Structure 1
């Protein structure tokens, strides 16, 4: 009997240890969608995972270099680039389905007529665009032979727009609603600019276990539909409110996107249905 009791205690302890949660460190203050997607990807494992939120992670360039470090984080998410895929290991599933590459122009409302009948990138070349010097689309616009004036802060840029220092400020559709609520700004009504852009999860190159867990979880979520359900819950209303389906799409090339991006997998990307361009 005593042997049986000891055996039961040992089995209980083993069971408890087996179910002890693993902690995964992420930066504090992330968009709820990102956190919910990480939790969804980790939920397919038999071992429970918990997120630990790390404060005071400074810039993105610093954050990616802190992956796997004792004073760092375990998962980083950002627009991919050749440099970032060289520093860290990317799980090549575009977590916002390319939405970050869709841009709507902030313009002076009195100038709407100048934009209303455009349909080709060549017609964009007669305008001057304000882009913050460190935005990734700054170089993309230049590479597409569009005239760019750099600025350092959005409030000043809006004043420059009013004074006609430039004609438009391209803004990501993910950021546009907050900007329109915060500032006295006007969103152009007809156009939707787009360039392929992938936001990935990144992990330390040596962390094969976490890489495999995230990749497997994201693929399972894609297969069973839970990825799409989560994406729609967060972004379907945004797509509707900004009338993306009714806008004229003009596409820009993005040579900074690594060729490893899974552009041919339509399941991974949001695509506007009624392309008028």
Structure 2
């Protein structure tokens, strides 16, 4: 016969073992940037899908509050306040943080259509070649990554520091067109009262501009698991379902009427050598839309 103390100790050990097992199986909380835009909402939805494909190891909890500057978010990642962020990549960012090199927007950021002045569509209807387009002036922000890409491809670029300044410069005739991401010009066309702008109807610039998830250099396990989850979601088709069913992306593709546009493919000399350009399934193929 076992003594009462042995039985009690055995029961206590059993409950302690159960508690440890539950704790061991509890998903790790992952903090991300707050949701303040359609892009943030999409990124969070994609992350939830990714974590579903990593055997329930993680639980996503986006931060609350207002939008932070990219510099602030980078510091939060480095200090462990936030575990994951998303941003268009550049060489500096890739040295500071760990990029998961799967473009979460399928390169969507690198698809540009123009804001133009009302009544100027005929000017763009006459464009047939890239050389024709080089005769026109395009407006860009001085420090934007797109500016370097367009200049490297020989386009005629006029720059200024402030976004609002570009809108007024376009309206005032300082340049002919303002290239914007496919999802952007529809809301920007009415940027301010009195501006006479419209969305150009037949030209699109396309270049590789990946947006990645980023983690800290110390979070190698999380980075590997996110990459694994992304690849699993790509393989089973659920990644594309999230992308093409996103309301903002779907609306932008429909409004842009890409299949009827003249497309100019540009090189992006700022890309890292590790960019997965040899994986066509990771990129939006405008020829198949």
TM-score (norm 1): 0.90
Match of 1:242 in 2: 256
Q: Does 1:132 align with 2:141?
A: yes
Count the aligned residue pairs. Answer: 274
Q: Does 2:12 match 1:9?
A: no
Structure 1 gap segments, 5+ residues each: none
Between stretches 44-53 and 235-244, larger displacement belongs to 44-53
Structure 1 range deviating more: 175-184 or 154-163 = 175-184
Distance 1:226 1:177 in 2: 28
- Is the radius of gyration larger for structure 1 or structure 2? 2
CA drift of 1:109 comes to 2.1
Stretch deviating more after TM superposition (81-90 or 153-162)? 153-162
Segments of 5+ residues of structure 2 without an aligned counterpart are 1-6
Distance 1:50 1:85 in 2: 23
Distance across 1 between alignment mates of 2:213 and 2:190: 29
Question: What is the DSSP-based 3-state SS (H/G/I as helix, E as strand, rest coil) of the residue aligned with 2:95?
Answer: helix
Q: Residue 161 of structure 1 is aligned with which of 170, 181, 186?
A: 170
Q: Residue in 2 aligned with 1:26?
A: 32
**1:193 counterpart = 2:205:** yes
Residues 170-215 of structure 1: CA deviation (Å, up to 9, x unaligned): 0011322332354553110010111111111111112111111111
Give the C-alpha shift of residue 227 in structure 1. 0.5
Query: Pick from 239, 243, 246: which aligns with 1:231?
Result: 243
Separation in 2, partners of 1:219, 1:67: 23
1:209 aligns with one of 196, 200, 221: 221
CA offset digits 1:87-113 (Å, max 9, x no partner)? 211111000000100101111121111
Secondary structure of the residue aligned to 1:110 is coil
Cα distance in 1 for partners of 2:167, 2:127 equals 23
Report if aligned partners of 1:57, 1:63 keep a CA contact under 8 Å in 2. no
The yes-or-no answer on 1:93 pairing with 2:93 is: no
Whether the aligned pair in 2 keeps the contact of 1:23 and 1:52 (CA below 8 Å) is: no
Aligned with residue 146 of structure 1, among 155, 162, 184: 155
- How far, CA to CA, are the matches of 2:230 and 2:127 in structure 1? 38
Deviates more, 1:59-68 or 1:165-174: 59-68
What TM-score results when the alignment is normalised by the length of structure 2?
0.86
Classify the secondary structure of the residue corresponding to 1:170.
strand
Q: Which moved more, 1:177-186 or 1:107-116?
A: 177-186
Q: Spell out, residue by residue over 1:105-136, the C-alpha distance to the aligned partner (whole angstroms, 9 max, x if none).
A: 11112111111132322111111111122321
1:63 Cα deviation after fit: 2.5
Deviations 1:231-258 (A, max 9, x none): 0111233212210111110112210111
**3-state SS of paired residue (1:255):** coil
Task: Judge which range, 178-187 or 207-216, deviates more.
Answer: 178-187
Corresponding residue number in structure 2 for 1:119: 128
Deviates more, 1:112-121 or 1:197-206: 112-121
Secondary structure at 1:157's aligned position in 2?
A: helix
Deviations 1:37-79 (A, max 9, x none): 1121122223341324164674323432432314x32112111
Counterpart Cα distance in 2 of 1:247 and 1:91: 32
Shift of 1:152: 3.1
